[in-house]
Amino acid sequence: MLMNEQAETFFKDEKKWKDEFHLLREIVCENKSLEEDYKWMHPCYTFQGKNIVLIHGFKEYCALLFHKGALLKDPKNILIKQSENVQSARQIRFTNIEQIIRLRDFIKSYIKEAIENEKLGKKVEIKNVSEYPIPEEFQKMLDDNTALNKAFYSLTTGRQKAYLLYFNQAKQSKTRKARVEKCIAKILDNKGLDDH
């Protein structure tokens, strides 16, 4: 496998999860059908250009993120959904190198299954935007503001979903309304929730 230059730098500069990352990289690279790339500021391993698994670290843990992890069988019940809104990706989290050593064979089998799923063209069933409820506070603003309505529905479906999830996560009407008001300018500028 050709090593990616940016990934090399990532591994070389890592402090907290250095040993864990090197072992994870070694395990992933044992599968000769994967190519090492660098995406989203992390080493990402692809099969014929399709994302399979990504190595990343956080304060409390490091992880392997399977892009279509929802399709994996998970006999060890070790795959974690990062948040309730994540539809496709799943992580295997580690807090020390011993966990990686113990799960090495399972990690390899999950990688192999993820590649097989890609070869078979399997896809994760993603919810349509229409399946996300539009909070009444936002619906009222859409009804009252033609420009906002047009701008929102011209956004990509991913951006629409992100806004709807963000608005719906607020438990109180007052908070939902404040969130909507805060986002109006971004929506009108054709920007996503996290765009600057």
CATH of the domain at 36: 3.90.1150
Whether 18 is in a domain gets the answer: yes
Whether 193 is in a domain gets the answer: no
The strand order across the sheet containing 90-94 reads 35-39, 42-47, 50-57, 62-66, 90-94
Q: Tell whether 54 and 102 lie within a shared domain.
A: yes
Q: Tell whether 18 and 108 lie within a shared domain.
A: yes
Percent of the chain at pLDDT above 90?
Answer: 79
Residue that terminates a domain, selected from 119, 150, 168: 119
- pLDDT average, residue stretch 147-173: 90
Most confident of 81-90, 158-167, 178-187: 178-187
The per-residue pLDDT for 133 is: 87
**pLDDT range class, residue 1, cuts 50, 70, 90:** low
Q: Tell whether 28 and 110 lie within a shared domain.
A: yes
157: pLDDT strictly greater than 90: no
**pLDDT range class, residue 129, cuts 50, 70, 90:** low
- Give, for 136, the enclosing helix (H) or strand (E): helix 136-144
31: pLDDT strictly greater than 70: yes
Q: Tell whether 21 and 89 lie within a shared domain.
A: yes
Q: Tell whether 183 and 92 lie within a shared domain.
A: no
Per the CB < 8 A criterion, the answer to whether 135 and 176 are in contact is yes
Q: Tell whether 93 and 143 lie within a shared domain.
A: no
- Give, for 26, the enclosing helix (H) or strand (E): helix 18-29
Sole residue written with tokens 């190198």 = 97
pLDDT tens digits, residue range 76-111?
A: 899 998 876 677 899 999 999 999 999 999 999 999
How many structural domains is the chain composed of?
A: 2
Whether 195 is in a domain gets the answer: no
The per-residue pLDDT for 93 is: 97
Q: Tell whether 34 and 115 lie within a shared domain.
A: yes
Q: What residue numbers bound the domain in which 55 lies?
A: 5-119
Q: Tell whether 25 and 103 lie within a shared domain.
A: yes
Q: Tell whether 151 and 98 lie within a shared domain.
A: no
Assessment of whether the complete model's pTM goes beyond 0.85 = no
Q: Which of 63-77, 119-133, 178-192 has the lowest mean pLDDT?
A: 119-133
Q: Residue 26, CB half-sphere, CA atoms under 13 Å: how many?
A: 11
Whether 194 is in a domain gets the answer: no
Query: Side chain identity at 29, as an amino acid letter?
Result: C
Q: Tell whether 101 and 138 lie within a shared domain.
A: no
- pLDDT average, residue stretch 19-46: 96
